[in-house]
Chains A and B, each alone.
Chain A
Amino acid sequence: MDEETEKLGEELKRKVREVFGRSLAIREVDAGSCNGCEVEVNSLTNAIHDIERFGLHIVASPRHADMLLVTGPVTRNMELPLRQTYNATPCPKMVVAMGSCAISGGIYRGSYAVLDGVDKVLPVDVYIPGCPPRPQAIIQGILVALGKMEERKGQQS
C-alpha cells in the first residue's frame, strides 16, 4: 500500500474526529437534480463504498445534520424548501454542492425555472464536479470539506 494514500485515509478519520467528535451527519437535499446524483449518493452506503466506516452517516432530517449535500441547479420551486432546510440545520454547518448543475446550473443553465447553482442561494464550502460524480469523488469532496471546516474553526477561536 502506498504510504501517502494510507496517510490520506488516516487523515480523514482524524479530521472527522477532531471537528465533529467521532462522526459527521450528512443530509442530502435534491434541489432539482435529474436523479443521477441521488443514484450515486445511494451508492455511498452500499457494501462497496460503505461511508459508515468513517463515521459518516446520511441522516433523515436537516436538524440532525452537520453537512448539507446539495444536488441540482436549484429550481425556482425548490429555492424556498432549500433555504428552510438550511435554516433548520444547526450551526456549525457546511454546504457541499455536488454535480455540475449544483455548481453552475450545468446543462440547465439559463432556464427560466432554475437559479443556476447552489451558491446563488446558500454559501457553499466545497464543490464536487462531475455529472454525476463517482461515489469516490464524493468521498474525496467530503475530505476536502472537513479540511475547510477545521480552518474556519481556527478562525473563530
Chain B
Amino acid sequence: MFKFLKLGVLKKGVQTKPYPQEPAVPYGAFIGLPVVDGAACDRCSHCVSACPVQAISLTEEGVEISTARCIFCGDCAEVCPKAIKMSREFELAATSKEDLRMVYRHG
C-alpha cells in the first residue's frame, strides 16, 4: 500500500498537460510543417525533386506544399536551407482536403 502511494500522487504530482487550455510546445528539434520563404525562393525546383512523396509543387502563385502527402521528413529543408524551414507547427487538422494545400506566394 505504501508503495502505491510512493509511486503515485505523492511522488509524481499531477502529470497531465493542460492542452488545449494551454498551447503545447513541442520538444527540442521537433519537425513540423515545412514553411517556405517566398522571397528567398528562386524556383530552382530542387525541393520538388527532393520530396520523397511528391508533396511539393511549383505553381503560378508560388510554392505549394500538400500536408495531405507530407511525411515531415525534412528532406526539402535540407536541400534548400535558404528558403525552406521546418517549423514547429503541428496543429494542422482540417475539414477539407482543400485546406491541406499550403500555398506560399512569391515575393
Contact = CB atoms under 8 A, between A and B. Distances in A.
Do the two chains touch directly in the complex (Cβ atoms below 8 Å apart)? yes
A1 B21 contact: yes
B53 A144 contact: no
B93 A144 contact: yes
Interface of A: 1-2, 5-6, 8-10, 12, 47-50, 53, 100, 103-104, 106-107, 109, 119, 125-131, 133-134, 136-137, 139-141, 143-145, 147-148
B95 A137 contact: no
B71 A131 contact: yes
Contacts of A109: 53, 69
Contacts of B66: 104
Contact of B70 (A5, A12, A100, A147): A100
B70 to A, nearest CB: 6
Contact of A129 (B16, B17, B93): B93
A103 B23 contact: no
Given A106-B53, A125-B95, A12 B20 contact: yes
B90 A136 contact: yes
A107 B69 CA distance: 8
Interface of B is mostly: loop
Given A5-B21, A127-B96, A144-B95, 13 more contacts: A5-B23, A6-B22, A8-B20, A12-B20, A49-B16, A103-B100, A107-B52, A126-B93, A126-B95, A129-B68, A134-B24, A143-B93, A148-B95
B15 to A, nearest CB: 5
A38 to B, nearest CB: 17
8 contacts: A8-B20, A53-B16, A104-B69, A107-B53, A130-B92, A137-B91, A140-B91, A141-B93
The A interface is mostly helix, strand or loop, or mixed, namely: helix
Interface residues of B, number: 30
A95 to B, nearest CB: 12
A127 B22 contact: no
Contacts of A106: 53, 69, 71
A2 B22 contact: yes
Interface in B47-98: 52-53, 66-73, 90-97
Contacts of B22: 1-2, 5-6
Given A104-B69, A134-B26, A6 B93 contact: no
